[in-house]
Structures are given as structure tokens and as C-alpha cells.
Amino acid sequence: MTVDLFLLQLFTGLALGSIFVLVALGLSLIFGLLTIVNFAHGQFFMLGAYVGAFVLGMTGNFWLSLIAVPLAVGAVGMLCERFLVRPLYGRGIDYPLLLTYGLGLILLETVRILAGTQGIPFNTPPVLSGAADLGFFFFPKYRLFLIAITAIILVALWLFLERTSYGLIIRAGARDQEIVQVLGVDVGRVWLVVFGVGVAIAGLAGVLAAPIRGVFPEMGVPVLVEAFVVTVVGGMGSLLGAVVAGLAVGVTVSFTSFFYPEMATLSMFLLMALVLVFRPRGLFGRAGLLG
Amino acid sequence: MLTVKDLNAWYGRSHILQGIGLEIAAGEAVCMIGRNGAGKTTTLRSIMGLVQRRSGTVLFEGTDIIALPTHRRFAMGLAYVPEERRIVGGLSVLENIRLGLVASPNLKREGEIIDRVAETFPRLKERLSQQADTLSGGEQQMLAIARAMVSDPKLIMLDEPSEGIMPVLVDEMFELFARMKARGITILIVEQNVERALQLADRAYVVDQGEIVHSGDAKALLADREIQERYCSV
Ligand SMILES: Nc1ncnc2c1ncn2[C@@H]1O[C@H](COP(=O)(O)OP(=O)(O)O)[C@@H](O)[C@H]1O
Ligand SMILES: [Mg+2]
């Protein structure tokens, strides 16, 4: 394998992994604070792609859809948290699990009814089509953009968590919810925001993935599986884990599809099994999060 | 300032508090003693709204707060330093202090308040950027107290603050409590270090099996070996 081919596969893997990172981040954020495994996460991803396609169709402006999607999907997520998930807090992990699973099915069927069972087109915006010359190799501009925008979202999220009072509450709440309440925080409101943010990032990932993966009702199904693999590899509830594992899974899939294409999908599960053998809590998993 | 009447609390099906009654006047320091498992922590947690199943009356400055969520009680001026300190590991000392400010109007005066903490707690001053879980037990307790104090609460509840702490730091801590009391902060303290607590307090309650079995002047109780031995020997 030559250097340029290696770099090409690496970048392809990073672009693929960027989507994994974004979806897993939201899943991990929600799990880390609310101890809810959001089985509807893949459907919020799908919803993001559809909302994006709709906004793009109405305005012809891809950038506008990148702003509208997280707002719209986040709002839907907050409504779901407020009226469906909230009554189930403190009832054991299986209740919200069943609820979000059912919610996912409802979202899926609703989109099928409203937008049809066939997919709808989503063109790569013209400025981002074609390939860029990276010196060693040519690389699709859109995939470069994916890596860059994921980096921007990560930095923004990091600044939000590390530099704002809200972020401080979220970091503390992930470790000890009770003390945060004792110090005057209405954790119900924090959970609402966290659920909204987590789901909004999934929606954004959906519209970002649309030019590559296409837009169709079932697009969220494999994504949920991929996001689970990433969160398990990275460690449930760990954001750093989601980033590292997302990129690692992307790169693994990319290299496997180069050498043994038929093993590509399987490779992520093999990676997961391997990690679990040596680190049952995942790469960055903390003890006690589930307890 | 705080009146507790017929307070009952349950953990699952066990009926832990069986009609606790307390009275604390503004500016007073009141101490609660009793052997392990008597229900002292459960009483404080119920006053803070942390016990799910509870009944009775908890009047704070005339308002019944029994049904209010914990964060609303904080907003009214109640502070609670739990038994296990509950320092948030993974955050720095400064971040733990700021956590005590995020829901308080004092957040606007953050700089000034942090300076005040540094002055009151010289041990914390040098360690502001350190990870909170690297502090010693005594320093963590100081941090927990500082974190509860930055919002300027009217009543502070302290659950066994001297537990597992070096004697020299215990001295320092009780001096601090005396200064807090002199500044007019109302204190409800639970202690195993009975002598220390009774010296600080104006009045005392003795709890046993979820009920108040004795109450009275702290100094009188300090002299009453019999009650101390009957209810407080571990
Ligand atoms: N989380 C809990 N679940 C069930 N029982 C509890 C819990 N916490 C305390 N208890 C029980 O409640 C009783 C009173 O405990 P506690 O209030 O902690 O006593 P104290 O602080 O006086 O030592 C004890 O019998 C204890 O076993
Ligand atoms: Mg106790």
C-alpha cells in the first residue's frame, strides 16, 4: 500500500467516522446524564435528513438547512422529552428504552406516510462537489467538509461544556445529580436541554450524511447500530470515548473495505468484541455510571 | 426560622422517621445527636427534599416546603452539606466552588465571592486549579462547606462534618462554624463528635429510632452524661 493510497483510505475513514462521532456523541450525552438509552436516536438522524431535504427544496440553500435542522429536530426532541420521557424517570432503565423504541417506530412510519417509502434526492451543494487536490491525492471536497464541520462542532461542544455555567452543570450532573439539585439546579430543565442538544446533533448528522448516504425512511436503522458500536467501544457516557471510537470505527471500516470489502460491516463488530475483551467498560468508560 | 412538625419518612417500606419535630430560631445553632442509624441524615435529607416518600410539615420562614423540589428549597436559602461531602471528582476545586454559584444570584459577583472564599479558606486558595478529588479529606470537607456558603444561605445543615478528619482541621472547622454563627447564619449540625457540637450549639435534639427522645439546652446536655451514654454511645 503506497502512502497516498494509505492517506486516501485514512481520510475516507475519518469522513465516515465523523458521522459516527456525531451520532454517538448525542447518544452518549443523553445516556451520561439521563441514563436513558435513546433507541429513537437513529430516527432523529433520519428526521434531520428529511427536514434538511425539505428546507433545501424550499430555499435551495444548503447552509440554511444546516441551521434549520438542529433547531427543528432539537425542538421535536425537547417535546418528546418533556411529554413522553419525563414521566418515566426513576422507573428503571427498561421503561424509557421501550418508550424510545416505540417513538422511533412512530417517527419512521410518520415519515413514510408524509414523504413516501421511496427515498428523495439530496444533491451535494455545488461548492462542495468534485475533488480537492491534497498534494498526495485527490479527495472528495464534501468529505473534507464533513471532517472540518465535525471538528468545528466538537470544538463548539467542548467550549460549551468547559466554559459555560450550563456546561459545568452538565459535567457535574453526569457524576452526581443529587448534589447539583442540592446546589439549586432544576435538573429537569437541564435534562430537557441535554436531550434536545443530543438529538439536534443526531439530526445535523443526518443532513450532513444525506449527500453521501441518500435520504430514505430506513436510513436511521443502521446508524443506530453503528452508534451503539461506537458508544460501546468508547465507553457508555464518555464524550471523549465517542470521538475516539467514532473515528477508530470509521477508519477500521474504511481499511477493511479496501482489503476485504465483504468484511467491511463485520469489521466494526470485531473491533467492538476485541475492545470488550480487554476493556469491558470500553476505552474511556468510567465505573459506576450504570450503577 | 425552621419548624418541623410530625415529619415522617420512608425508604421503601421501612418507616424511618416517625414524627420528628424540631424548632430552630434565626441565628441559632442547633445540634442533632444520636447513634448510628437513628435517622439524623434522613431528617436532614427530608428537610432538603431528597427523600421521596415523606409527610408532615416543614415550615421555612413561615412557608410549608414539604412538597417543594430540592432546588426551590435552595432558592429560599437552605443549604445542605451531605455526610459524604459529595465533592464532584473530575472538576477542579474552583469549578466545585462555582457549582455552588450557578443557581444563585451571587453568580453575578463571582470574582468577589471567590476572593472571599480564598480569604476564609486559605487551604483552598492555593489549590483552586487542582482536581478536587486530589484534596485530603479535611480539605474536601472545607470545599464542601465553601461550596454551600457561596450562595449566602440563611440556614446551613451540616451532616457529620468532622467525620474522618484530622484533629487540627476539626479545630479549624469548628472555629469557622463559630464565626459563621457570629455572622448570623443559622446552623443545624449533626455530629458524632458530641462534645464539640454541643459546645458550638445553643440547643440540642437527641434522636433515636426515628424519634426525638430528648431536647434542651446544649450546655445542660453536655453535663448530662447519662443521656449521652444512653443515646450516643456507638
Ligand atoms: N437509602 C436508604 N435505603 C434504605 N434504608 C436506608 C437508606 N438510608 C438510610 N436507611 C436506613 O434508615 C435508618 C436511618 O438512617 P440515617 O438517617 O442515615 O441514620 P443516621 O444518619 O442517624 O446514622 C437506618 O436504619 C438506615 O439503615
Ligand atoms: Mg448519618
Name the pLDDT band for A288 (thresholds 50, 70, 90): very low
pLDDT digits 0-9 by tens, A105-144: 999 999 999 999 999 999 999 999 999 888 878 899 999 9
CA max distance for chain A: 59
Q: What is the dihedral of CA A63, A67, A70, A76, to 10 degrees?
A: -120
Closest chain B residue by Cα to residue A187: B71
Name the pLDDT band for B45 (thresholds 50, 70, 90): very high
Q: Is residue A214 scored above 50 in pLDDT?
A: yes
Q: What is the dihedral of CA A191, A166, A44, A287, to 10 degrees?
A: -70
Rounded Cα distance between A124 and A106, Å, is 29
What cell was used for A110? 410518520
**Candidate of B36, B42, B51, B188 to mutate for ligand 1, largest count of ligand atoms within 8 Å of Cβ:** B42
Rounded Cα distance between A230 and A247, Å, is 9
pLDDT digits 0-9 by tens, B197-230: 999 999 999 999 999 998 989 888 888 887 777 7
Q: Is B91 on the interface with A (CB under 8 A)?
A: yes
Residue nearest atom 2 of ligand 1, based on CA coordinates: B11
Give ∠ CA B142-B143-B145 in degrees, rounded to 5.
Answer: 65
* pLDDT, mean over chain B: 92
pLDDT at A290: 35
Region A46-60: what's the mean pLDDT? 96
Q: Ligand 1 within 6 A of B25 CB?
A: no
What cell was used for B36? 448510628
pLDDT digits 0-9 by tens, B104-151: 999 999 999 999 999 999 889 999 999 999 999 999 999 999 999 999
Region A64-92: what's the mean pLDDT? 93
Q: ipTM > 0.85?
A: yes
CATH homologous superfamily of B1-77+187-234 equals P-loop containing nucleotide triphosphate hydrolases (3.40.50.300)
Q: Is A287 on the interface with B (CB under 8 A)?
A: no
Ligand number, closest to the Cα atom of B45: 1
Rounded Cα distance between A191 and A175, Å, is 14
Q: Is residue B234 scored above 60 in pLDDT?
A: no
Closest Cα to residue B143, out of B154, B159, B157, B127?
B127
Q: Is A265 on the interface with B (CB under 8 A)?
A: no
What percentage of chain B carries pLDDT values higher than 70?
A: 99
Find the CB nearest B103 among A171, A178, A185. Answer: A185
User: Ligand 2 mean position to B215 CA, how many Å?
Assistant: 19
CB spacing of B102 vs A168 below 8 angstroms: yes
Measured from the Cβ of residue B223, the count of other Cβ atoms closer than 10 Å reads 10
Report phi then psi at B152, rounded to 5. 50, 65
For every residue of A175-191, DSSP letters joined together read H-HHHHHHTT--HHHHH
Query: Strand pairing partners for B105?
Result: none
What percentage of chain A carries pLDDT values higher than 90?
A: 79
Q: Are strands B186-190 and B155-159 parallel, antiparallel or unpaired?
A: parallel
Q: Is residue A289 scored above 80 in pLDDT?
A: no
Give the position, in ligand 1's atom list, of the atom nearest the Cα of B160.
21
What cell was used for B151? 450562595
Q: Is A289 on the interface with B (CB under 8 A)?
A: no
Q: For residue A81, what is the DSSP state? A: I
User: Ligand 2 mean position to B35 CA, how many Å?
Assistant: 9
Mutate to test the interface with A, among B71, B85, B149, B158 (most CBs of A within 10 A): B71
Q: CB neighbours of A153 closer than 8 A, spacing ≥ 6?
A: A22, A201, A204
Rounded Cα distance between A128 and A231, Å, is 30
Report phi then psi at B55, rounded to 5. -150, 165
pLDDT at A82: 95
Q: Is B209 on the interface with A (CB under 8 A)?
A: no
